[in-house]
Amino acid sequence: MKDAGRERAAGDDGADDRAGGRRTGRRGRGPLLIAAGFLLVAVVSTVGALGLGGGGTDDGAAPGRSSHVVPVTRETLTEQTEVDGRLGHGPEVPFQIKAEGTLTWLPTTGSTVRRGGKVLRVDDRPVILLYGSLPMYRDLGVTEAEPQDAATGSGGDGPDGGTGTAKRGDADGGSASGSSAGGGSANADGAGAVRAAGAPRQPAPLHGMDVKQFESNLSALGYSGFTVDESYTVLTADAVKRWQKDLDLPQTGEVDAGDIVYAPGPVRIAGTDALVGADASGNPLTYTSTSRMVTVNVPATDTNWAQRGSEVAVDLPDGRSVKGEIARVGKDASSSGASGGGDTAGKSGEDGGDSADGTAATVSVVITFADQDSLGRLESGPVTVRHVVKQRKGVLTVPVAALVALAEGGYGLELAAQDGGGGGADSGAGRFVPARTGLYAGGKVEVSGPRVHEGMKVRIPE
């Protein structure tokens, strides 16, 4: 019984030894398996990097090159430059008010005044806006003239059948007398002019271009009965009386210089420098155009692009872009701190580059819009003006990123696998064709060359 027990014990110990041996064996092989795994991954990675693995698709890309392919296209390239501008109503112009007295009414800023409308009131008398370029520099009305005979002082026939003439008085201003067959006499006034005794003075028309400008406005306001010309006649005065009646003014038929102000057209009241109750003298009001426009202060050394009538693009604050036209280019350079609109402060130096105070000199450029509705409801704000510097029409173009610097100098284009570039030695990916470059604009470049053609596929390098 003891021997059997020893044998079982011995057997158990052998089993434990075998089990322990297996456990010991597994612990010994573990590091070897991990090392083999790392080696396998390295081999696979190397094979993949060398392109020796199978099962993948071949897009024909050269090693280290991008697979992004673009065509050579034919289009118009335009190089543009951007400058900052300001949307508004143009420069402010002061009204030249000639009426004397106290301001009793002023219009509100931003209001529009048209032909026949009140600009302001002085001593409760309206000052009316009319259209024209000539200022109101004198009173308009009918004058009185001497009778026709007074000019020569002619009388009846003399005894010899001739014409009797009036004789001027003595040097001390004594009276003069003329004789005729009829014994008629003539009287001389203090200035030496002679008129027939008791002859009435006759109305004489006032002449001038200012008269024609006024009569044109009077006719445009609906008043008639006179001829629009350079003569202010009795018929003109009658029409003026009807106009004055409609304005609740005394019907004198005469127009005082202070009753009217002229402007090129409808105006927008820009601001007031006076208050009701102040004296009307000076320039109490300024106005602008009713049309919106853009003013740009351009460096005096960079005005070649600003040609009157040229078209530009204007980017508005709301993100829209509209077309504008250059309407006016200033002739005077001013300092960059001065406002546009023709100010001459800070005139540029002899070289035209800098103003007297050392700041960059600028020239005011005004851009107008034929379609005011295209501006929407915007009245003012900063804008960006884009103008064309250079333009090339119908040229071959590629993205600038497609250019590759060639070892032998210059630039080239890498052909895509599906484009043979005309066949022969240049077919297949990784081949390059030389290309001459032209205008760069908008991220693209003009290209040309004997082997560059429209539609060919080229790669963009990484």
Determine contact, residues 185/177, Cβ cutoff 8 Å.
yes
Beta-bridge mates of residue 82: 386
May I ask the CATH class of domain 94-129+264-290? mainly beta
Which burial class, exposed, middle or buried, applies to 53 when counting CB atoms under 10 A from its CB (0-12, 13-18, 19+)?
exposed
* pLDDT tens, residue order, the chain (462 aa): 444 444 444 444 444 444 444 444 444 444 444 444 444 434 334 333 333 333 333 343 344 455 689 999 999 998 888 999 999 999 899 999 999 999 999 999 999 999 999 999 999 999 999 999 999 999 999 987 655 544 444 444 444 444 443 333 333 433 433 333 444 444 444 444 445 555 566 678 899 999 999 999 999 999 999 999 999 999 999 999 999 999 999 999 999 999 999 999 999 999 988 999 999 988 899 999 999 999 999 888 888 888 899 999 999 999 999 999 999 998 888 765 444 443 333 333 444 444 455 567 899 999 999 999 999 999 999 999 998 888 899 999 999 999 999 998 999 999 987 555 444 444 455 689 999 999 999 899 999 999 999 999 999 987
Which contacts of 232-236 are long-range, i.e. CB under 8 A and separated by 24 or more positions?
A: 232/140, 232/141, 232/142, 232/205, 232/206, 232/207, 233/142, 233/205, 234/142, 234/203, 234/205, 236/142, 236/205, 236/211
Reported as type and span, the H/E element at residue 273 is none
Q: CA-to-CA distance for 262 and 128, rounded, in angstroms?
A: 9
Diameter of the chain measured on Cα atoms: 203
Among the listed residues 304, 301, 298, 297, the one whose alpha carbon sits nearest the alpha carbon of residue 354: 301
| DSSP code string of 147-191 | -GGGGTT--SB-TTSSB-------TT--------TT---EEE-TT
Range list for CATH 2.40.50.100 in the chain: 94-129+264-290
> CB within 8 A of 192, min separation 6: which ones?
168, 169
Beta-bridge mates of residue 125: 122
Q: Which fold has domain 69-78+391-459?
A: 2.40.420
**Helix ranges restricted to H, 198-332:** 209-220, 234-246
For residue 108, give the DSSP letter.
P
- pLDDT at residue number 147: 53
Q: CA-to-CA distance for 384 and 167, rounded, in angstroms?
A: 79
Range list for CATH 2.40.420.20 in the chain: 69-78+391-459
Checking DSSP bridges between strand 125-131 and strand 260-263, what pairing results, if any? parallel
Q: What number of other Cβ atoms are within 10 A of residue 23's Cβ?
A: 10
